[in-house]
Amino acid sequence: KAKLYDSALAITYLTRAKQMTHSASNAEQLQNYLNWIKWDDGNLKASELRDAAQRIEQARDYKKAHSKYLELLEILTTQKAKNEIDWKIASIAFNHLNEKLEAIERMFRVIQSIQKSGNAHELNDVYLQDYAAMCYSIGVDYYNQHNYRFAYIYINQAAQFEWEHRGDCYLQLAIL
């Protein structure tokens, strides 16, 4: 039923199959498929488009993957899925397209969105680590350009989060 884009019926059948299977590997496979369907609250076209974007990203065609993720963002229905895809877009923009300021702004919006929603449990370590690393990296870039004011702003922002290079942030702030 997933190919017919009837997620509710697909979930019903897959849940029933999972309950009836005697194989742990089959149960795991069925659970993975259920998770795939439920990723954006049953939006199967979004799950398929996410898979396509991931394949393009894995092929290292980052510009095309970035575009595909932007296309995907337009059809998402849940904020959690939107946050995940915004994070992917920001990561690609920062790490591969040299669009660092756009990326950090996008990550900041993800962090704010999760904090404002009251769902702090969704604010996973990956989002925080990546945002802090982006802030620190931009801060160091500004430092190397002798723009100490902006270096301070970004490095100080990175120091606000508990992450693996927080000590480096404080060292840089002391130097500034």
Is 34 within 8 Å of 15 (Cβ atoms)? yes
Q: Which residue has the higher pLDDT, 31 or 167?
A: 167
Paired tokens of 58: 């894995």
pLDDT digits (tens, 9 = 90+) for 21-59: 888 888 888 887 878 888 898 899 999 999 999 999 999
Q: What is the pLDDT of residue 1?
A: 44
Paired tokens of 128: 């925080």
9 to 1, 30, 44, 152: CA distances (angstroms): 6, 14, 12, 54
Which residues does 109 contact at the CB level (< 8 Å), separation at least 6?
86
Paired tokens of 50: 């996410």
Type of residue at 155: I
- What is the rounded CA–CA span in Å between residue 58 and residue 36? 18
- What is the rounded CA–CA span in Å between residue 101 and residue 134? 9
> How many other CB atoms are found less than 10 A from the CB of residue 125?
11
pLDDT digits (tens, 9 = 90+) for 76-134: 999 999 999 999 999 999 999 999 999 999 999 998 888 887 766 666 678 889 999 99
- Give how far the C-alpha of residue 18 lies from the chain's centroid of Cα atoms, to the nearest Å: 29
pTM of the model: 0.85
Is 34 within 8 Å of 11 (Cβ atoms)? yes
Alpha carbons within 13 A on the beta-carbon side of 93: 21
Average pLDDT over residues 1-30: 76
Paired tokens of 8: 């509710």
Confidence band for 3, pLDDT divided at 50, 70 and 90: low
Q: What is the pLDDT of residue 36?
A: 84
Q: What is the pLDDT of residue 119?
A: 66
Residue 150 has pLDDT above 50, yes or no: yes
